[in-house]
Amino acid sequence: MAEPLARGCLSKMTVEPGPPARYTLIAGADRVPLADWLGATLRLDWTGAIACTHCGRATRKSFGQGHCYPCFKKLARCDTCIMKPELCHYFQGTCREPEWGEAHCFQPHVVYLANASGLKVGITRRTQIPTRWLDQGATQALPILEVASRQQSGLVEVLFKEVVSDRTNWRTMLKGEAPVLDLAAERDRLLARLGDGLDELRQRFGEEAIQELDAEAYRFDYPVLEFPGKVTSHNFDKQAEVCGRLLGIKGQYLIFDTGVINLRKFTGYEVELRAVDPSLAGPATPGLF
């Protein structure tokens, strides 16, 4: 059996803008630039082990994308308010980790429009631009507002969710590129429609807390040789081996001819990555969508 290209516990793939986007698989200390393996048949084997990404202890089940249960219950990054920032309870004195919250939540956040499977609204720390959109598999993105804290970004997002989705349809995203949208026109339409609600938030937090941005739209391309006509997913919890010809990478998904797998879902899982037939690997850029 061939020596593994990588062995270790999975972390979220790193990604840099292209074109096309450049992904690196991370397993423990090993790094694999995946563009080098497009077209090759690869095999991922889960060893059965899972390690908490925070404390390192072995766990039978992963919680909150890579945590053991004790860490999941005590870490602020695993609290409900991370997924729903409008529920921030820092000022009630009940934040699990006040210092962590101050460092991560009380910094500028951006409210944006993106197009991965259609128009959506989202929020991210300013420092996560453009990584956040590449992680989602977005083909377009446009920052529209900058706010002073994560809680405020969540309140703005709640306002926008009255008229636009905050979800990506991952199956649609993986079937190809969504039709191109005029994000600037969508921004102007939404800001006009939601102006009264934004003014109420400014009265609550101050005029400078929520500022409109005059930003240029981003456009992203992905290393995909062929999009799947029908999306089926692999799951290590049901089958420890994933094998197939690597047809592309988009978002945090590997696209094989046998199905797709969301590597971020299995953060902390110990895997081995092997090339079954490296001779089939193709060039990194020609023929990509």
H helices of the chain, where?
Answer: 69-74, 80-83, 98-104, 131-136, 150-160, 170-174, 183-193, 195-205
The pLDDT score that the predictor gives to residue 286 is 39
Which pLDDT score, from 0 to 100, does residue 159 have?
97
What number of other Cβ atoms are within 10 A of residue 195's Cβ? Answer: 10
Domains in the chain: boundaries: 6-67+223-280, 107-219
DSSP letter for 157, please.
H
> Is residue 278 pLDDT above 90, yes or no?
no
Q: C-alpha angle with apex 104: 98 to 106, nearest 5 degrees?
A: 80
Could you give the 3-state DSSP secondary structure of residue 49? strand
Q: How far apart are the first and last CA of the chain?
A: 33
Q: Which uninterrupted H or E stretch holds 241?
A: strand 241-250
Mean pLDDT of the chain: 94
DSSP, collapsed to helix, strand or coil, labels residue 279 as helix
* pTM for the full predicted model: 0.92
pLDDT of residue 282: 52
Residues 6+ apart with CB under 8 A from 159: 194, 197, 198, 201
Distance CA 254, CA 246 (A): 7
Q: What is the mean pLDDT of residues 72-88?
A: 96
Q: Is the pLDDT of residue 139 over 50?
A: yes
Q: pLDDT band at 177, cuts 50/70/90?
A: confident
Please, are residues 174 and 231 in contact by the beta-carbon 8 Å criterion? yes
Per-residue confidence (pLDDT) for residue 262, from 0 to 100: 97
Cβ atoms of 280 and 38 within 8 Å: the answer is no
Q: How confident is the model at residue 178 (pLDDT cuts 50, 70, 90)?
A: confident
Distances (CA, A) of 47 to 75, 242, 250: 27, 12, 25
Residue range 257-267: mean pLDDT, rounded: 97
Most confident of 15-19, 188-192, 279-283: 188-192
Task: Answer for the pair 264, 23: CB distance below 8 angstroms, yes or no.
Answer: no
| 3-state SS track over 87-141 | HCCHHHCCCCCHHHHHHHCCCCEEEEEEECCCEEEEEEEHHHCCHHHHHHCCCEE
Range name among 147-151, 263-267, 276-280 with the lowest pLDDT average: 276-280
Predicted confidence (pLDDT) at residue 283 exceeds the cutoff of 60: no
**What confidence tens digit (pLDDT) does each residue in 146-157 have?**
999 999 999 999
